[in-house]
A and B are shown apart, each in its own frame.
Chain A
Amino acid sequence: MTVLRIAIVDDESPARMVLREYLEQEHGIAIVAECANGFDAVKAVAEKKPDLLILDVQMPKLDGFEVLELVGRDTAVIFATAYDEYALKAFDVHAVDYLLKPFSRERLHEAIERARQRLANGERTSTSASELSAAGRPAGVRLSRIVIRDGADVHVVPIDRVDYIEAQDDYIAVHTGGRTLLKDQTMTTLEAHLDPRRFVRIHRSFLLNLDRLARLETTGKDTRTAVLRDGRELPVSRTGYARLQELL
């Protein structure tokens, strides 16, 4: 049996303690990291590459779902929380299991066996975690911030600090205050969770925060350019211009 490498993530020390105690009695596992917040969890995943995360939902900095969104598709996740209202969402994002605190050793054992099976079958989710996470979000819920992983670092960008978003193949580039951050997500799924009166698809590849728009310039017959407050220029397509006209 291959050793299952596990990272424990919970901001409450007794909760980590009981996990450690239960896991000591499991065979073929190794605890490779113990984290008390979401940032540390993302870092631990990047550095230690665990097979399985046992994740609390409500934590400082990043919640459990945001951690899952950032760690990518190679890590299996078991959620552990006192709240039952996230269970549906957890399965939407392909969590292996959902443990309600307090849980028994047997219940944890069951969850670990399930994770082992899933990993042994080589079951990887075909879509990226970000896509799944976005899909799991209820349609009416607007994003209040975008979380982006950059190696072992995590950037949390509040939505009003986003200047514009650029589509780049399978990635999006989030431009914020002169910085550019890449995220493994498609423009369409992100756009679906942004306020349509605030973020406008001015071009196939550009989603603009309307607050940043200084003026529109006509550069040729049917071609226009959006000039941002900081002087940067973005192309505006014909449908993009129609959308802008509707809002302005």
Chain B
Amino acid sequence: MALWGEALAVPALASWYVYRFTALSASTGQILITIIMSTLATTALWLGAGRAWLWLVSSIAPSPHALFARFAPLMFVTGAVAFVAMTAVHYAIAVGDEGRAAAERALQAEVAAREAELRALRSQVNPHFLFNCLHSISALILKQPEAARRMCLELADFFRDSLRAGSLPRIPMEFEATLVRRYLDIERVRFGARLRAEISVAPDVERALVPPLLLQPLAENAVRHGIATLVDGGDIAITVTRQGNRVTVAVDNAFDPDGRRPGTGVGIANVRARLETSFGGDAHLHVDSEDTRFRVTVSLPYLEAPVA
């Protein structure tokens, strides 16, 4: 019986070779042909080896040649079945491994993509805003040192707040409004009387939870593509209201319809993408412009912050 076990090891090993050299990625026909050919070859070799062994044994002792002849077909079938079974086991293991690896890769890719998306979306605060602010501070520092210092402090507060906000999945509307007020106060140093802004948040919507930096990019858009295009500047009106279980955020600003401002829409596309990530189809962003007014309206579900 031990001999049988050892004999079976031959097809097992052989089938491993088949599996190694014919990857799963090969076509089904290719795999089948390889298996059939190798099954026949291996089993023939197996039988040949048995016959050789018998011949060797018969030289020292009389041996049952007739018995071998009778059992040869059975042995052939056994060998073939054993070989195919072993190959199947190898492939089954391979499929399992491959599936697990693929699932893991897919998961990793998804996590990486989501992280990149969040990183890209969160780094909302335009670096050029910072460069322009630093330039303003550098301008004020000798002639108006107090104003320069105030701007440094405001800038620090704004960045600290936006970093804190950005690390949270949702923030109360009140916090977002504070952030936008700080942002506009800083921009007022650059634009002076050209920038007039009003933010009104209805009392019943102050505790509404919104994705962080939802409003700030819209305000920044209104400044860059609106106020900055006008010689005498203009106004920005930001209103946040509640209608039952919905929140409406509207940013309305003056702009120069004849102005040329390539790049409009990046900030808005970003906000839209973040709304999609946060609320799926339950939030909408709408843009319209009329003569000299540009208006962005966002509608999102009302979610309330717990009382602190």
Mark A residues whose CB is within 8 Å of B: 11-15, 17-18, 21, 36-37, 39, 58, 60-61, 63, 82-83, 100-103, 144-145, 156, 158
> Per a CB cutoff under 8 Å, which of B131, B140, B228 touches A11?
B228
Q: Known: A36-B231, A60-B259, A156-B258. Contact between A12 and B136, CB under 8 A?
A: yes
User: Which of B184-192, B238-246, B300-308 lies at the interface with chain A?
Assistant: B184-192
Set B135, B189, B231, B260: member contacting A101, Cβ < 8 A: B135
CB of B229 within 8 A of CB of A15, answer no
Give CA–CA (A145, B259) in the complex, Å.
Answer: 9
- What are 21 A-to-B residue pairs whose CB atoms are below 8 Å? A11-B228, A11-B231, A13-B190, A14-B135, A14-B139, A15-B136, A15-B190, A17-B139, A18-B138, A18-B139, A60-B228, A60-B229, A60-B256, A60-B259, A61-B231, A61-B256, A82-B135, A101-B132, A102-B131, A102-B137, A144-B260
Interface centre among B190, B258, B260 (most CB of A within 10 A): B260
* Number of A-B residue pairs at CB separation under 8 A: 62
A21-B142, A58-B228 given; A12·B132 CB < 8 A: yes
Prevailing SS type, chain A contact patch: loop
Chain A residues with CB under 8 A of B70: none
Shortest CB-to-CB span from A105 to chain B, Å, is 10
Chain B 193-232: CB-based contact to A (< 8 A → 1; otherwise 0): 0000000000000000000000000000000000011110
Q: Are B260 and A145 in contact (CB under 8 A)?
A: yes
Contacts of B134 in A (CB 8 A): 101-102
Interface string of B107-143 (1 = CB under 8 A from A): 0000000000000000000001001101111111011
Q: Which residues of A contact B136 (CB under 8 A)?
A: 12, 14-15
A sample of 17 more A-B contacts (CB under 8 A), given A14-B135, A103-B135, A145-B258, is: A12-B132, A13-B192, A15-B135, A15-B136, A17-B139, A17-B140, A17-B143, A18-B139, A21-B143, A37-B231, A60-B230, A60-B256, A82-B128, A82-B131, A101-B131, A101-B135, A102-B134
CB-defined contacts of B143 to chain A, threshold 8 Å: 17, 21
Nearest-neighbor residue (CB-CB) of A156 within chain B:
B258
Q: Which residues of B contact A60 (CB under 8 A)?
A: 228-231, 256, 259
Interface size class of B (residues with CB under 8 A): 20 to 34
**Which residues on the A side are within 8 Å of B189 (C-beta)?**
14
A102 touches B135 (CB 8 A): yes
| Closest chain A residue to B129, Cβ basis | A82
CB of A83 within 8 A of CB of B128, answer yes
Residue with the highest number of chain B CB atoms closer than 10 Å, among A12, A14, A15, A100: A14
Residues of chain B within 8 A (CB-CB) of A101 are 131-132, 134-135
Report the Cα distance A182→B186, complex, angstroms: 43
* Minimum CB distance partner of A58 in chain B: B228
Rounded to whole angstroms, the CA-CA distance of A12 and B228 in the bound complex is 9
Tell me, in angstroms, the Cα distance from A61 to B134 when the chains sit together: 25
Chain B contacts of A158 at CB under 8 A? 258
Chain B residue contacts of A83, Cβ below 8 A: 128
Please name the residue on chain A nearest to B260 by beta carbon: A144
Near A by CB (< 8 A), chain B positions 234-287 give: 256, 258-260
CA A167 to CA B189, docked complex, whole Å: 47
For residue A157, which residue of chain B has the nearest CB?
B258
How far does the Cβ of A81 sit from chain B's closest Cβ, in whole Å?
Answer: 9
A15, B260: Cβ atoms under 8 Å?
Answer: no
CA distance A180 to B93 in the complex (A): 81
> What sequence of 0s and 1s flags, for each residue 50-65 of chain B, a beta carbon within 8 Å of any chain A beta carbon?
0000000000000000
Q: Is the CB of A12 within 8 A of B142?
A: no
Please, which residue of chain A has its CB at the minimum distance from the CB of B190?
A12
Measured in the bound complex, the distance between the Cα atoms of B237 and A233 in whole Å is: 50
**Which residues of chain A come closer than 8 Å to B140, judged between CB atoms?**
14, 17
The answer for the CA separation of A156 and B128 in the assembled complex, in Å, is: 27
Interchain CA distance A15-B138 in the complex, whole Å: 9
